[in-house]
C-alpha cells in the first residue's frame, strides 16, 4: 500500500517522554526518514531532491542533511534521510522544506513525490553521545553499517549500559572512526536502538566481526552471549553516503 508522502512526512514527531528528559536531550535529536522509491522513478526522485528539496532546506535554515542509500545488501531502492532537529517548536506551523519554497511548490512538489515513493516512515531519534564514539579528526564516513535492534522494554537500560560499557571499548580499540547510537522515540517502537558504524571499504567486511578481531575467542563469545540475552531481533544493512543529495553548512 502506498504511503502518502505529504510535507507532514518531513516532520519527524511522536513518544511520551518526561519533560526533564526532553530538556536535557534537546540538542541531541535527529530526524530520520526511511524512503523506498519505485525502481523506475529513482532518477526523477533524486532530481526533485537536488533541484527543489535541498535548496528549500538550505533556505529554511536546515544546517545539514545526509542521505544514505542501502546498497548492495538490503533493499537497494531504500534511502535513509537524516537531519538535525533543532527543537520541536520548529514543527509548529509549516515545516521545512515548505518554509523555503514558493507557494506553488508547496503543493506541487509533495504531490509529485507521491508518484515516486512506495513507502516512507519518519522517526525522531534521540542521539546518545555518551554511548557513541567518534575519532578526532576522522573524515565523515562514506560507508556505514546500519543496525537496528529490538529489545524487551524492561531491558532497554541494561542494553544501553551494555553498549556503553562493553561494546564502546571494543569499537574504540578496533579503531572505528564513527559509531553513532540512537534510541527510537517518536514514530517508532521505543524499545529499538539504531547504530551507524563507519566502514573504510567493503573489504573491511572480510575481516569479520569487530569483537573477533581484537578479543580472545573466550572474550568474544562472552560478549556475544550478553548481546544474545538482550536482543530480540536485529536488522543489518550496508549504506553508502550519497554526496549529491547531502550537505552540511559550516557552523
Q: Which three cell numbers stand for residue 170?
A: 571494543
Per DSSP, the three-state class of 186 is: strand
DSSP H/E element including 236:
strand 231-241
Report the candidate in 144, 115, 119 with the shortest Cα–Cα distance to residue 48.
Answer: 115
Q: Please state which CATH class domain 133-239 belongs to.
A: alpha beta
Neighbours of 122 (CB within 10 A): 22
pLDDT given at position 129: 94
For 21-34, how does the pLDDT look when each residue is reduced to its tens digit (9 = 90+)? 333 444 689 999 99
Q: What is the 3-state secondary structure (H, E, C) of 197-229?
A: EECCCHHHHHHCCHHHHHCCHHHHHHHHHHHHH
User: How confident is the model at residue 249, as a pLDDT?
Assistant: 72
> Cα dihedral sign for 48, 105, 60, 97?
negative
CB 52 within 8 A of CB 33: no
- Domain residue ranges in the chain: 7-127, 133-239
Decide whether 7-127 matches 133-239 in CATH topology: yes
The C-alpha torsion from 157 through 34 and 177 to 49, rounded to 10°, is: -150
Secondary structure (3-state) at 87? coil
Q: How far apart are CA 54 and CA 156, in angstroms?
A: 36
CB count in 10 Å sphere of residue 51: 11
Residue 96 CB partners (closer than 8 Å, separation 6+): 10, 56, 57, 60, 61, 62, 90
Q: What is the CATH number of domain 7-127?
A: 3.30.70.100
Per-residue pLDDT tens, the chain, 251 aa: give them: 333 333 333 322 222 332 233 334 446 899 999 999 999 999 999 999 999 889 988 888 888 999 999 999 889 999 999 999 988 887 886 655 545 454 555 557 778 888 999 999 999 999 999 999 999 999 989 999 999 999 999 999 999 999 999 999 999 999 999 999 999 999 999 999 999 999 999 999 999 999 999 999 999 999 999 999 999 999 999 999 999 999 987 65
Residue pair 152/191 in contact by the 8 Å Cβ criterion: yes
pLDDT of res. 7: 31
Cell numbers placing 14? 511522536
CA atoms 99, 101, 103, 107: torsion sign: negative
**Residues 68 and 246: beta-carbon distance below 8 Å:** no
Amino acid at each position: 500500500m502506498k504511503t502518502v508522502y505529504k510535507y507532514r512526512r518531513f516532520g519527524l514527531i511522536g513518544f511520551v517522554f518526561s519533560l526533564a528528559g526532553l530538556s536535557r536531550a534537546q540538542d541531541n535529536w535527529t530526524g530520520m526518514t526511511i524512503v523506498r522509491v519505485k525502481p523506475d522513478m529513482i532518477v526523477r526522485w533524486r532530481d526533485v531532491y537536488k533541484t527543489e528539496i535541498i535548496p528549500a532546506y538550505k533556505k529554511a535554515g536546515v544546517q545539514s542533511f545526509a542521505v544514505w542509500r542501502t546498497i548492495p545488501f538490503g533493499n537497494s531502492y531504500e534511502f535513509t534521510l537524516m537531519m538535525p532537529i533543532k527543537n520541536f517548536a520548529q514543527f509548529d506551523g509549516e515545516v521545512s522544506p515548505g518554509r523555503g519554497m514558493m507557494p506553488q511548490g508547496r503543493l506541487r512538489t509533495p504531490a509529485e513525490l507521491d508518484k515516486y515513493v512506495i513507502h516512507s516512515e519518519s522517526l525522531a531519534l534521540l542521539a546518545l553521545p555518551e554511548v557513541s564514539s567518534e575519532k578526532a579528526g576522522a573524515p565523515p564516513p562514506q560507508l556505514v553499517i546500519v543496525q537496528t535492534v529490538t529489545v524487551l522494554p524492561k531491558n532497554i537500560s541494561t542494553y544501553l549500559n551494555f553498549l556503553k560499557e562493553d561494546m564502546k571499548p571494543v569499537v574504540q580499540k578496533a579503531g572505528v572512526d564513527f559509531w553513532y547510537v540512537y534510541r527510537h522515540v517518536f514514530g517508532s517502537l521505543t524499545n529499538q536502538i539504531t547504530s551507524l558504524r563507519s566502514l573504510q571499504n567493503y573489504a573491511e567486511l572480510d575481516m569479520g566481526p569487530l569483537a573477533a578481531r581484537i578479543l580472545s575467542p573466550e572474550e568474544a563469545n562472552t560478549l556475544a552471549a550478553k548481546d544474545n540475552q538482550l536482543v530480540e531481533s536485529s536488522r543489518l544493512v550496508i549504506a553508502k553516503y550519497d554526496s549529491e543529495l547531502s550537505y552540511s553548512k559550516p557552523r
